[in-house]
Amino acid sequence: MILITGGAGYIGSHANKELWKRGYETLVFDNLIYGHRPFAKWGEFVLGDLEDLDQLRLVFKTYPIKAVMHFAAFTYVGESVEDPQKYYANNLKNTLNLLQVMLEFEVPYFIFSSTCATYGVPQEIPIPEDHPQDPINPYGRCKFMVEKALEDYSRAYGLKYISLRYFNAAGADPDCEVGEWHEPETHLIPLVLDVALGQSEAIKIFGTDYPTEDGTCIRDFIHVTDLAEAHILALEYLFTQGQSEVFNLGNGNGFSVRQVIQTAEEVTKRKINTVEWERRPGDPPVLIGSSQKAKRILGWKPKYYELPVIIQTAWEWHQKLYRDFKNLR
C-alpha cells in the first residue's frame, strides 16, 4: 500500500489516480485544510494531520504501508514571507514527524514533492539539478531543508528517497475527474480562466518590461498528469534500483504570460481582459528547468507538453468546477 499525504490536493489526487490505474493500493492522508474530500476518489481515506504523531503511528500500525508519497505542504510563497512560522511548522517539522514514524515502522521508500523554488534566482537556463540551491523565501527554504534532511537520513538510516523538483504544475486530469481547485487561487492559468468564465473582470500582468520577447515573465508549465506519471516512475525506480536521487520535472520549454493569455483566448474562444501592473519582487524574467535527467534515468516521457493542450484540459475542468462544485467553493 502507498501512503499519499496531501492526496486530496491538486497534484496528490492526480498521483493517486495514476497509482490506482496501475493497480496499486493507496491510502490518502489529508487534513483537508486545502485539500478536498471529493478528490480522494481512489483507495482509502484517513482524515488526519501530520502534527499528530500518535495518529500517524496508528495509521502505520493499521495499514501495510510500503512507501510514502509526500505532497502535504502549504505552498503560498507570499504567505510564507508574512508568516514563516506556519511554514516551518507544517512543511518542515511535520515532514520530520512523518520521517520519524516511517523509521519506527521500517518503511524505506519516500517520494518527496519538492520545488524549483529551492534554486532561488537562476544563474543559468535551463536549470539543471546541480544548479546551486539558494532559496529566497521561507517556502523554498523549507523544501530545501527537507531535501538536506533526506540526504542525512539516507546516509544514517538507509532511507531511500527521490526528491522531485517541480516547475509550474498546470492543467487537469484529461478525464476531468480531478483538477486544480485552490482557495485562494494564485496560479496564472486558472486565474486567466476565471476571466474567461466571467468570474473576474481582468487578469493582472505583473511586469511588462522584462528582457523577454514580449516583456512578460516566461515560465515552465508542466501538465499535472505528467507530474503524476513521474512520481510513479520514481517509486518504481526506488523499488528496483533502491538508489536515492533528485530530479527536475518541467516542460523544458518556456511560455510567457502574454502567450498563456493569448492561448487561453484561442482555447476558450473568449476575450480575456488584462491590466498591466508593477513587477512583483523576486520574480525572475525566465524560469525554465532541464528535465533531461528524469527522461534519461526514469524513462519519463511527458505526453501533454503543448500549451494549448495544457490549457484545454484546464478549461474543461474549470467549467466543471464552477458547474458542479460552485456550492462548495
Q: What are the distances in angstroms from CA 155 to CA 100, 158, 198, 241, 288?
A: 15, 6, 53, 16, 31
Condensed to tens digits (0 to 9), the pLDDT of residues 310-322 reads 999 999 999 999 8
The rounded distance, in Å, linking the Cα atoms of 247 and 237 is 12
pLDDT tens for the chain, 329 residues long, are 999 999 999 999 999 999 999 999 999 999 999 999 999 999 999 999 999 999 999 999 999 999 999 999 999 988 999 999 999 999 999 999 999 999 999 999 999 999 999 999 899 999 999 999 999 999 999 999 999 999 999 999 999 999 999 999 999 999 999 999 998 899 999 999 999 999 999 999 999 999 999 999 999 999 999 999 999 999 999 999 989 999 999 988 899 999 999 999 999 999 999 999 999 877 889 999 999 999 999 999 999 999 999 999 999 999 999 887 655 44
**For the residues of 6-26, what is the DSSP string, one character each?**
TTTSHHHHHHHHHHHHTT--E
Residue range 188-219+252-288+305-328 forms a domain whose CATH class is: alpha beta
Looking at 10, 119, 139, 210, which residue is catalytic?
Answer: 139
The rounded distance, in Å, linking the Cα atoms of 262 and 269 is 10
Condensed to tens digits (0 to 9), the pLDDT of residues 231-263 reads 999 999 999 998 999 999 998 889 999 999 999
pTM: 0.95
Please state, as a whole number, how many other Cβ atoms lie within 10 Å of the Cβ of residue 178.
26
Q: Which CATH architecture has domain 2-170+221-249?
A: 3-Layer(aba) Sandwich (3.40)
The CATH 3.90.25.10 domain(s) of the chain lie at 188-219+252-288+305-328
Between the two ends of the chain, the Cα-to-Cα distance in Å is 32
The CATH 3.40.50.720 domain(s) of the chain lie at 2-170+221-249
The rounded distance, in Å, linking the Cα atoms of 109 and 304 is 28
Question: What percent helix, strand, coil does the chain show, rounded to 5?
Answer: 45, 20, 40
**SS3 state of residue 249:** strand
Nearest to 321 by CA among 208, 162, 172, 133: 172
- Catalytic site residue 139? yes
